[in-house]
Structure 1
Amino acid sequence: MRDLLQRIDASTPAGRDRAVDALRALAVLGVVLGHWLVTALVADSGTVRGASPLRYLPQLAPVSWVFQTLAVFFLVGGQMGARGHASARAGGMTYGQWLGGRLARLARPVAAVLVVWTVAAVAMLSAGAGPETVRTLVRLVLSPLWFLLVFALLTAATPLVARLRPWWPFAAVALVDLVRFCLGGPAWLGWINVAAGWLVPYCLGAAWARGDLRSRGTGWALLLGGAAATAGLVRWGGYPAAMVGVPGAGVSNLDPPTLAAVVFGLAQCGAALLLLGPLRRVLRRPAAWAAVALVNLAAMTIFLWHQTALIAVTAIGTLAGAALPGLHTVPDGSGWLLARMAWLPVFVLALLVCWAAFGTYERGRA
């Protein structure tokens, strides 16, 4: 094991910023754990429906503050996208070659998920599963793809947005929310924020790549300013406290993104920037770096298949013949949450099986 750790450490380019990879790994794992903790599949009169403990236990909203880490992913994506495009140009690579390579790494694992779940949906319907059940499961698996679509679009626009100041998309988000919530504007305007909202941390990442965010004061300003603005919007602006969607809620901070989600993302970006120094020190240790490197090598597989792992464990659990706490039961109490946490290692094992089966698509060997 020690030799393996040393080989991973030695094979890493000397100029690689390991803290950036660590932030990416933390962002992916945050999304996965968040989904596993706030997603329940409940059998009701022969139909499987989705439920969330946040609906029954709104005091758990702080859980979403820890695990809704998409802004950090877009921050890192903007930094890596801007640096990667600049390096490609310096090396004589065309925009099309650079973009094709980046999108291919996204497309292969996504195609695998789509094919497998198309076959699974047809098989379930042919076996007599109800359309509502199949719709619930397919939606659960495919819902994360919206994030990858937005990420792909922002990646394609990197040459245009690399020098865009983040306050421009931020102003667009604020204007959209003002029209929607204060002036009675149409709800469809909110979908402008799907691009504008995530463009804010992406532009911050591009600024980071330019060297504009070196001051620790910037990190503190983003963290404290974003946290204060989030608290104010939740306390006096009528925005939900949960930073993820809650079934049955009138307003979602994430679907589409609201101003509260964007300023919360700014706070997360500030925290990420402040963590760079400590992360760089920790990642000098071969064991710590090996863990980060392995997560990054499987990041797309982890992200795309984690809901399938949850569904598989839930389905296999039905063989017990009774509703298992934390797996099939309604998430309406603290007991459910404790039981769900006990299931997390089983979800991890199921995800490892998915990685063994489909990880080759991410590595480009399929």
Structure 2
Amino acid sequence: MRQRDRYIDGLRALAILGVVGGHWLVGALVATPAGDLRIDSPLRHLEWLQPATWFLQMLGLFFLVGGYTSARGLLRARERGETDPEWVRRRLWRIGRPVAAASAILAVALPPLHLLGVIGAGTAWNTVVLFVQPLWFMAVYAVITALTPYLLRLDRRAGLRAVLAFAAAVAAVDLLRFGPVDVPAAAGYLSVLPAWCFAYQLGISWSSGRVDRRVAAGLLAGGLAAFVVLISVLDYPVSVVSVPGAARSNSNPPSLLVPALAAIQAGAALLLRDRIERILRRPRVWAAVTVLNLSAMSVFCWHHVALAGVSEVARRLGTLPGLGDAPVDAGWVAARLAWYPVLALVLAGLVALVRRYEHPVPATVPGPAATTHA
């Protein structure tokens, strides 16, 4: 069995923790007089909290690691005699299986819970909304994963120039969105693939040995410079994620701030590799990273459901600080952070129940592929 790469697993675990911790911080479920929960966000009320998204939105690292591991996995598959379509089908099966299982479980469980009076209609609906909202990420990730054979070929031909080309494409779309000429709002979504391909393609270049410390330092410096200019000079929104009610968003659709942040994160992570690997040698840290990696998709699919469940229990007990009350002050933020251990325990319980849908991956999947290696 192939030995796991601690550094790669550590970066992936960090990205997943950022996603979960960020969603738990910026997502609020407020109790209503009707006995339901409605969705709100402290980002709408607390502008000073928005810079926290710079550190919690780590999807750039996730796509970086995805590009690296997919490139390595595809090359190993080719060495085994597996075709590119077979590899793509197997990868998409592994990505889609936990999502499909979670969707089916919620579709079966929520209606009876509502009919039995366990949860209100509003709570049930908002649980579905919270569950579905981040699935855009998995859809984009799946599409880019399917493009891996072509992106690998692009790396051989253009190297790091391909990475810069994706950033340039996002910049061009931003010029359309925010420039003097009015264009349909839907035109902004032309940036979705290039914005996230930036980090993925960078991961592919990293796997082929094109990213050394000099390149990493350039990524960090260039990303920081672009980030500062975009926010302080060009008036891009401060928050990396969408703020309810805001006229502009950096994530829906993604703006140039997304690849700029990904460049910062990738550059810093690569420059700090030795320190990160030393931390990962600690037995307890490595054990936690291993568990998180083995259940990554389950954690992603169920972390909002854990929040909804804990919030509903808190609502029935009475409005508790950080759960059920409006996210309008620093006290709410402190209280929500204090709830993280409870949310983590509930999420761990849910993952333990559903993890069998993520592992083991079936030896035979739709199509001719039959191997279970990454």
Could you list the per-position Cα deviations for residues 297-318 of structure 1 after superposition, in whole angstroms to 9, with x for gaps in the alignment?
1111111110011011011112
Q: Within 1, Cα distance between the matches of 2:301 and 2:183?
A: 35
Residue of 174, 178, 199 corresponding to 2:175: 178
Q: Within 1, Cα distance between the matches of 2:120 and 2:292?
A: 36
Could you list the per-position Cα deviations for residues 310-351 of structure 1 after superposition, in whole angstroms to 9, with x for gaps in the alignment?
01101111221x211100000000000111011111101110
Could you list the per-position Cα deviations for residues 200-221 of structure 1 after superposition, in whole angstroms to 9, with x for gaps in the alignment?
001100000110002x121121
Q: Within 2, Cα distance between the matches of 1:135 and 1:196?
A: 32
Matches within 5 A, 1:293-312: 293-312=290-309
Q: Within 2, Cα distance between the matches of 1:345 and 1:130?
A: 26
- 1:196 counterpart residue number: 194
- 1:6 counterpart residue number: none
With 185-194 and 30-39 compared, the bigger mean Cα shift is at 185-194
Amino acid at match of 1:156: A
- 2:278 counterpart residue number: 281
Residue of 239, 255, 276 corresponding to 1:242: 239
Q: Within 2, Cα distance between the matches of 1:65 and 1:115?
A: 34
State the 1:130 CA deviation. Answer: 6.5
State the 1:295 CA deviation. Answer: 1.1
Residue of 319, 323, 326 corresponding to 1:330: 326
Is 1:37 the equivalent of 2:25? Answer: yes
Q: Residues 284, 325 of structure 1: CA spacing in aligned structure 2 closer, same or farther, 3 A cutoff? A: closer
Residue of 44, 54, 60 corresponding to 1:55: 44
Is 1:150 the equivalent of 2:125? Answer: no
Could you list the per-position Cα deviations for residues 200-258 of structure 1 after superposition, in whole angstroms to 9, with x for gaps in the alignment?
001100000110002x1211211121112111111121211011111111111111111
Residue ranges of structure 2 left out of the alignment (5+ in a row): 156-161, 363-374
Q: Within 1, Cα distance between the matches of 2:83 and 2:307?
A: 41
Q: Residues 171, 52 of structure 1: CA spacing in aligned structure 2 closer, same or farther, 3 A cutoff? A: same
State the 1:365 CA deviation. Answer: 6.7
- 1:343 counterpart residue number: 339
Is 1:75 the equivalent of 2:71? Answer: no
Q: Within 2, Cα distance between the matches of 1:177 and 1:125?
A: 43
Amino acid at match of 2:209: G
Q: Residues 126, 284 of structure 1: CA spacing in aligned structure 2 closer, same or farther, 3 A cutoff? A: closer
Q: Within 1, Cα distance between the matches of 2:91 and 2:62?
A: 16
Residue-pair matches, total: 352
Task: Decide whether the 8 Å contact of 2:174 with 2:188 is kept in 1.
Answer: yes
Task: Decide whether the 8 Å contact of 1:105 with 1:364 is kept in 2.
Answer: no
- 1:114 counterpart residue number: 103
Is 1:362 the equivalent of 2:358? Answer: yes
- 2:366 counterpart residue number: none
Amino acid at match of 2:320: L
State the 1:161 CA deviation. Answer: 1.0
Q: Within 2, Cα distance between the matches of 1:107 and 1:78?
A: 18
- 1:5 counterpart residue number: none
Amino acid at match of 1:326: G
Amino acid at match of 1:362: E
Q: Within 1, Cα distance between the matches of 2:298 and 2:107?
A: 18
Amino acid at match of 1:284: R
Q: Within 1, Cα distance between the matches of 2:173 and 2:332?
A: 38
State the 1:120 CA deviation. Answer: 3.6
Residue of 75, 84, 92 corresponding to 1:103: 92
- 2:54 counterpart residue number: 65
State the 1:171 CA deviation. Answer: 1.4
With 278-287 and 146-155 compared, the bigger mean Cα shift is at 278-287
Q: Within 1, Cα distance between the matches of 2:284 and 2:349?
A: 23
- 2:253 counterpart residue number: 256
Amino acid at match of 2:207: A
Q: Within 1, Cα distance between the matches of 2:122 and 2:195?
A: 32
Amino acid at match of 2:229: G
Q: Within 2, Cα distance between the matches of 1:267 and 1:211?
A: 19
Task: Decide whether the 8 Å contact of 2:236 with 2:250 is kept in 1.
Answer: yes
Is 1:292 the equivalent of 2:289? Answer: yes
Amino acid at match of 1:84: G
With 278-287 and 310-319 compared, the bigger mean Cα shift is at 278-287
Q: Percent identity?
A: 44
Residue of 104, 107, 127 corresponding to 1:137: 127
Amino acid at match of 2:32: D
State the 1:98 CA deviation. Answer: 1.3
Root-mean-square deviation (CA), in Å? 1.8
Q: Within 1, Cα distance between the matches of 2:33 and 2:231?
A: 37
Q: Residues 270, 116 of structure 1: CA spacing in aligned structure 2 closer, same or farther, 3 A cutoff? A: same
Task: Decide whether the 8 Å contact of 1:108 with 1:364 is kept in 2.
Answer: no
Q: Within 2, Cα distance between the matches of 1:352 and 1:109?
A: 15
With 250-259 and 42-51 compared, the bigger mean Cα shift is at 42-51
Q: Within 2, Cα distance between the matches of 1:192 and 1:149?
A: 15
Task: Decide whether the 8 Å contact of 1:48 with 1:136 is kept in 2.
Answer: yes
- 2:204 counterpart residue number: 206
